[in-house]
């Protein structure tokens, strides 16, 4: 998607940018940080039993026209369109999420490697947890800070690279970036799997997150939770019902969700264990 076909005005309005930044390291940092803070991670469609489309036109319509957020394939799909329009050179990789897991999961997370200013950068606007909020030099064996958060990249077997974050004094695995190139069909397959598989966490629990000043806002279980810069909870309140959920999505996360989608998602999360979907 080039600058002529990219819906620039809508993207600027959604992200708060004044213009599409230049294809420089500083421009990359501005672009990723603006989108990450403006467009929340959310999985209301899979919870509501609605299909998730990752075609560019569908992603642009959902996030820019309808005021929704999305999950990694949508959020980074949008970021990829913006990177192309701004003239960045980049490749797409898939990663295995291993945050709070005993072993890596499937290749179900999308990231970008951006070549800019003589450096290769890891860019990710769609992790939905304690992940990056800015680009980071893609240099295995290094540690770096983003605000109060500390991260590190470690080489892994087979050319893979592990991203970790320090949480509560210990290094926590976030995701394992695969060393091999992918094709667009790999995104389609991964998206279909995580959005429709009955045992997918995207189909059973709220995954809603947005960076805020000095921390994160998230929905955990059916609670609205604010976390500090170290990703430790500092405030929590339960959500009352689907209407409260919808209000919080709008006011805290900047996401506009139709009442019927919020109601279906709320019902799914709160159904009795073992009940039919």
Active-site residue numbers? Answer: 72, 109, 124
In the block, tokens 């069909």 appear at 185
- CB–CB of 128/207 below 8 Å? yes
Using DSSP, state whether 25 is helix, strand or coil.
Answer: helix
Neighbours of 54 (CB within 10 A): 21
Report phi then psi at 9, rounded to 5: -60, -40
In the block, tokens 């929590």 appear at 236
3-state SS, 219-254, equals EECCEEEEEECCCCEEEEEECCCHHHHHHHHHHCCC
Length of the chain: 277
Q: Pull the structure tokens for residue 179.
A: 């060393």
Using DSSP, state whether 1 is helix, strand or coil.
Answer: coil
Q: What angle (nearest 5°) sits at the alpha carbon of residue 214, between those of residues 208 and 220?
A: 25
């Amino acid at each position: 998607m080039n600058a002529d076909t990219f819906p620039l005005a809508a993207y600027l309005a959604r992200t708060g940018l004044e213009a599409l930044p230049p294809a420089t390291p500083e421009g990359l940092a501005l672009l990723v940080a603006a989108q990450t803070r403006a467009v929340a991670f959310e999985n209301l469609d899979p919870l509501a039993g609605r299909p998730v489309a990752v075609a560019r036109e569908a992603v642009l319509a959902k996030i820019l026209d309808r005021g929704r957020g999305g999950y990694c394939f949508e959020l980074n799909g949008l970021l990829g369109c913006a990177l192309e329009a701004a003239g960045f050179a980049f490749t797409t990789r898939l990663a295995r999420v291993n945050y709070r897991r005993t072993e890596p999961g499937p290749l179900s997370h999308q990231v970008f490697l951006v070549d800019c200013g003589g450096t290769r950068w890891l860019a990710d606007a769609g992790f939905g947890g304690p992940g990056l909020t800015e680009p980071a030099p893609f240099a295995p064996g290094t540690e770096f800070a983003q605000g109060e958060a500390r991260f590190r990249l470690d080489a892994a077997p087979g050319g893979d690279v592990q991203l970790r974050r320090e949480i509560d004094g210990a290094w926590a695995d976030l995701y394992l970036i695969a060393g091999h190139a992918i094709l667009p069909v790999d995104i389609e397959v991964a998206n279909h799997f995580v959005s429709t598989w009955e045992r997918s966490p995207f189909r059973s629990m709220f995954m809603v997150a947005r960076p805020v000043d000095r921390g994160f806002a998230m929905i955990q279980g059916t609670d609205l939770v604010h976390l500090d810069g170290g990703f430790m909870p500092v405030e929590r309140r339960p959500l009352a019902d689907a209407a409260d959920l919808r209000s919080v999505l709008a006011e805290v996360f900047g996401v506009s969700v139709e009442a019927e989608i919020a109601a279906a998602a709320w019902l799914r999360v709160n159904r009795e264990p073992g009940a039919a979907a």
